[in-house]
Amino acid sequence: MKQPASHSRTIYLIVLILVGLFPLYSAPLTTEDLKASLRTNTELLLLQEEITQAQLDVKDAKAMFWPNIELDFSATWMKNPPIGPITINLDNFYEVITGSPPLTPFDPPTVTLYEGMDPFIYSTGITLTQPIFTWGKRSHALKLSEAMVLVKRNQLQNQNRTLFSELETRLASVTHLKAILVLLQQQEQLAQELVALAQQASQSGMLLALEVGETRLQVQQITMAKLEIQHAIDTQILELQRLSGRKDVSATNIFQSYDEETLTSFLETPVSALVDKALAADQPALMAVSTFEKITTEAEKIAKGSFYGKPDVALVINATYGGPKFPIIDSDWQEKDTYDLTVSVGFKTTLWDGGKILNEIRRAASQVEYARIQSQSVRQQIEQEVRKNHAKLSMTVEKLRLQQEKTETLTQRKTLNKQLAQAGLQGRQQTLMAEIAVFASQIEEEQLKIDLSQYINILKALT
């Protein structure tokens, strides 16, 4: 049975309405989804490229143990060679030798002694240079380059952990900010109803116009708070898009609160144990600074290897050729052309440069001491951050407990006021004000939960 055309149009309109109502619907984004997207973060990509460059430096350091081979070649063509053919007249030669004129009346014969320079001249040479002894500078340079790769990898791991902590904090912030926005909207509705009641009371002469204005001011403050919260949500969304590289991140698909299981674990763990975890040798931040100490030590050894009077010894082999015949291709190139092979061993050292090498050694020693002090400073900062955030976490948990008790008390007051209003013992205004106070207390709870998520994720990143 064919359906009427009006029925089909109705179904089509319903579909259009549903599409219009839910144009931005998407599945909730989990922390794992956004964590996987962190691979495209520009900060991590830049650090990855720095690792690649450091690995190339390692290859360069290994190449220093191999000989350096250089080839140079040139070919020259001359239109008028500087040396032309060389000939001799036999009659003149006879007259010089015998002292009498030649007997033949005919043109004297000539003999060509040299046909002249070839217009083409080739020149080529191969030089092999092999360092033999460099006072350990090559081996120390290799160790330095390998240590730099470890530093960059630890920096990448530490940055990845930091970004993941920031990601979780911002996700939790958006979730609790959305809850605050809903509470503010409910507050605003109640405040508008309170304004309407105040206007009615003012018209009947039971309330002053000033009191009506003060009630309207309360609505305006709630509206301003809504704008600020919405701006905070938009800012967090932009930061999440930057971190993850995903443009589909929106407030509608984020549902992430603070981790209560992790919170309990941190509260039950002594702060000294958390400090020990944060200062463990396998922590990326500490591994980076300890490896940096090794780098400065290797740099100092390299500087000492260049001290005055310490020669670098190298083997040099040089093979050269020059002439009109192209080598190897022409079979008789060895007969008429010039070629040579030399083998030499030489050394090079600096005897005095005004003290620059001494300054370089002192500078390297200062870098070693700087790295040692920096390592101590990083350890102190990490310990301080762990203790500070653990104290803030404990304090915020207690504040949240007290705030929840306050909300429970205000809720009881709201219930009592509602019962009194139903019994006619007080007006609707008292009930509305009690409900607004409950929402205000719940908003403070959500703000404390944002702080909790921040402290938890900082401790997770540190430990």
What's the pLDDT tens digit per position in 361-399? 999 999 999 999 999 999 999 999 999 999 999 999 999
pLDDT at 332 (0 to 100): 64
Asked whether residue 44 carries a pLDDT value surpassing 80, the answer given is: yes
Q: Which residue has the higher pLDDT, 214 or 408?
A: 408
| 81: CB partners within 8 A, 6+ apart | 116, 117, 118, 119
Write out pLDDT tens, residues 234-253.
999 999 999 988 888 888 87
Whether the model pTM is above 0.95: no
Residue 319 has phi, psi (to 5 degrees) of -120, 125
| 371: CB partners within 8 A, 6+ apart | 289, 292, 293, 295, 296
Per-residue burial over 429-448, b if 16 or more Cβ lie within 10 Å, else e, is bbbbbbbbbbbbbbbbbbeb
Write out pLDDT tens, residues 108-162.
677 776 676 778 888 889 999 999 999 999 999 999 999 999 999 999 999 999 9
Average pLDDT, the chain: 84
Asked whether residue 99 carries a pLDDT value surpassing 60, the answer given is: yes
Residue 23: band (very low, low, confident or very high) from pLDDT cuts 50, 70, 90: very low
For the residues 190-202, what does the mean pLDDT come to? 77
- 318 φψ region: left (φ > 0), alpha (ψ -120 to 50), beta (else): beta
pLDDT at 11 (0 to 100): 46
Q: CA 328 to CA 172: how far, in whole Å?
A: 77
pLDDT at 249 (0 to 100): 86
What percent of the chain clears pLDDT 70, i.e. is strictly above it? 82
pLDDT at 16 (0 to 100): 40
> How many C-alpha atoms does 199 have within 13 Å on its Cβ side?
7
Of the ranges 82-91, 95-104, 170-179, which one carries the lowest mean pLDDT score? Answer: 95-104
Most confident of 14-23, 244-253, 324-333, 388-397: 388-397
Q: Which residue has the higher pLDDT, 122 or 280?
A: 280
For the residues 69-92, what does the mean pLDDT come to? 80
pLDDT at 213 (0 to 100): 65
- Closest to 434 in 3D by CA, of 447, 450, 415, 452: 415
Residue 275: band (very low, low, confident or very high) from pLDDT cuts 50, 70, 90: very high
pLDDT at 22 (0 to 100): 41
Q: Which residue has the higher pLDDT, 99 or 163?
A: 163
Q: CA 33 to CA 116: how far, in whole Å?
A: 82
